Amino acid sequence: MRPISQASRVVSPSLLSHVGSQPLAGNGARAGVGALAVAAAAGTDGTPASDGASAIVGGRTALLSDESGDAGRGASSTTLRRWAATSGTGRKYQATAIVNPIIATPNAGRAKRIELPPARARLPISASCPGRYHAPMELPSATRAMRIGAPHSRLTLETVALPSLGPQQVLLEVSACGVCRTDLHVLDGELPHARYPVTPGHEIVGRVLAVGGPDVPFEAGERVGVPWLGFTCGECRYCKLGLENLCERAGFTGCTLDGGYAEHAIADARYCFRIPDRYDDAHAAPLLCAGLIGYRAYEAAGDGRNLGLYGFGAAAHLLAQMARAQGRQVFAFTRRGDDAAQRFALELGAVWAGDSESVPPEELDAAILFAPVGALVPAALAATRKGGRVVCAGIHMSDIPSFPYSLLWGERTVTSVANLTREDGREFMRIAADVDLAPAIERYALADANVALDRLRAGKLRGAAVLTTG
């Protein structure tokens, strides 16, 4: 490596302390140093340093080489640069930086000792003043979130510290988060595994601010969706059978893991999804549970032509569109006298809409229950043909009353769907890219999460509520 005279400089203490506080790397290492060294090696005019540039980082000299081979090019536009560096002590590391253009503070005095990360780290760097040195983009150490402190309480707006990223995790700036009935179950203490306090929300759309390690398949700035399934162990008997939705040690976003009723969220990238471009952030949010777990229920219902949907909310209004696009007939069942929901269903192409106790004009091949009302199980069985299926799609339901065996006789099936698999998510997103779903949403500011939940509980929502930031 050849030294580049313009690039040897000392990093400012403020820059170091900033990097030192970033929750970027796993294994206890602080990441971002590679990008910092890149920044430090940049020229004062915003031009990145050439191959072999050196930077004094934490009192050590780091020699930089550009593994992508584009060193020395101007950085007037945003470019992605990958750098490898060797510290003065011989430790090697790599970094990926988004350069726009990059920046450093030259000759800013004393430097303090910092650890160079052993693995690749990625850090978005932004600068708005070409030709001037600028600190890397501020990464938050805390975020504002609407939290559930304990069951049966109201959500409160709090500032919550963001933990350091694990090697598989991403830090997201949340732009939208859907409001799901499951959030009400968490709020009402109906899910025994929920932890408190918790930030609810498992229909998260955000953009990647930072990633925790080299295996994360997302880049800074990329749009990512976070669903309910946040972690699986990969080792239990269910995981080994390919039934990760039933994992015995699963983590659930917004329930056992902090979710997206917040300005920032941390998620395990292995469980995140890319979202089709045709949906903007707010309209994409309901896809991540209402759409995705709804789709798992839809698959479980089989491919019969007549599909009954009990409870015409966020999930049903998406499935109705999908079913219609696939040539099926939707029969919508709502709370008694909910004319608005019945009109909504008919607008979306349902061939019939009525009260949940009603007998539909044709026998159903299958029924999906989104309403958490156990009494709907015998009602749906009564409306379903022999050999048909009744799928309970909610995570919680009131007790199912006893009913005559004749309702089940004839090889009717009652089943439930639990959670989702990642394959469900990928398959649903493929369909959502092809079928022009039109999620109906009501937008609420993050601080108004209680209002959105109240309206959901009262059955007043048309489609899905979505919390938006900014």
Cis ω before 401 (30° cut-off from 0): no
Give the separation between CA 287 and CA 177, rounded to whole angstroms. 10
C-beta neighbour count of 10 within 10 angstroms? 21
Give the separation between CA 143 and CA 178, rounded to whole angstroms. 18
Report yes or no: 224 and 238 within 8 Å, Cβ to Cβ.
no
Which of 108, 236, 375, 431 forms a contact with Zn ion (CB under 5 A)?
Answer: 236
- Residue 148 CB, shortest distance to Zn ion, in Å, is 15
- Residue 441 CB, shortest distance to Zn ion, in Å, is 15
User: In a 3-state reduction of DSSP, which class is residue 272?
Assistant: coil
Report yes or no: 262 and 143 within 8 Å, Cβ to Cβ.
yes
x-or-dash pattern for Zn ion, window 53-82, by CB under 5 A?
A: ------------------------------
Pick 237 or 278: Cβ nearer Zn ion = 237
Which of 38, 145, 289, 380 forms a contact with Zn ion (CB under 5 A)?
Answer: 289
Stretch that binds Zn ion, among 29-37, 205-213, 269-277, 288-296 (CB under 5 A): 288-296
x-or-dash pattern for Zn ion, window 128-167, by CB under 5 A?
A: ----------------------------------------
Query: Residue 2: phi, psi to the nearest 5?
Result: -105, 140
- Residue 195 CB, shortest distance to Zn ion, in Å, is 17
Residues 319-338 contacting Zn ion, CB under 5 A: none
Half-sphere exposure of 47 (CA within 13 A, CB side): 12
x-or-dash pattern for Zn ion, window 163-192, by CB under 5 A?
A: -----------------x-x----------
Stretch that binds Zn ion, among 96-104, 145-153, 239-247, 419-427 (CB under 5 A): 239-247
Q: Which residue has the tokens 């065996």?
A: 405
x-or-dash pattern for Zn ion, window 108-127, by CB under 5 A?
A: --------------------
Which of 121, 146, 172, 239 forms a contact with Zn ion (CB under 5 A)?
Answer: 239
Q: How far is CA 329 from each of CA 38, 73, 101, 314, 322, rounded to the nearest angstrom?
A: 59, 59, 55, 18, 11
Pick 24 or 466: Cβ nearer Zn ion = 466
Quick one: residue 463, left, alpha or beta (phi over 0 = left, psi -120 to 50 = alpha)?
A: left
- Residue 460 CB, shortest distance to Zn ion, in Å, is 18
CA dihedral 82, 88, 90, 93 (to 10 degrees): -20
Which of 247, 366, 390, 414 forms a contact with Zn ion (CB under 5 A)?
Answer: 247
Give the separation between CA 268 and CA 168, rounded to whole angstroms. 6
- Residue 206 CB, shortest distance to Zn ion, in Å, is 17
Give the separation between CA 42 and CA 55, rounded to whole angstroms. 9
Pick 50 or 182: Cβ nearer Zn ion = 182
The token pair at 304 is 């019969």
Report yes or no: 421 and 245 within 8 Å, Cβ to Cβ.
yes
Report yes or no: 222 and 169 within 8 Å, Cβ to Cβ.
no
- Residue 187 CB, shortest distance to Zn ion, in Å, is 13
- Residue 236 CB, shortest distance to Zn ion, in Å, is 3
- Residue 192 CB, shortest distance to Zn ion, in Å, is 17
- Residue 208 CB, shortest distance to Zn ion, in Å, is 22
Residues 215-234 contacting Zn ion, CB under 5 A: 232-233
User: In a 3-state reduction of DSSP, which class is residue 10?
Assistant: strand
Stretch that binds Zn ion, among 188-196, 219-227, 282-290, 402-410 (CB under 5 A): 282-290
Give the separation between CA 315 and CA 234, rounded to whole angstroms. 28
- Residue 421 CB, shortest distance to Zn ion, in Å, is 12
Q: Which parts of this chain interact with Zn ion (CB under 5 A)?
A: 180, 182, 232-233, 236, 239, 247, 289
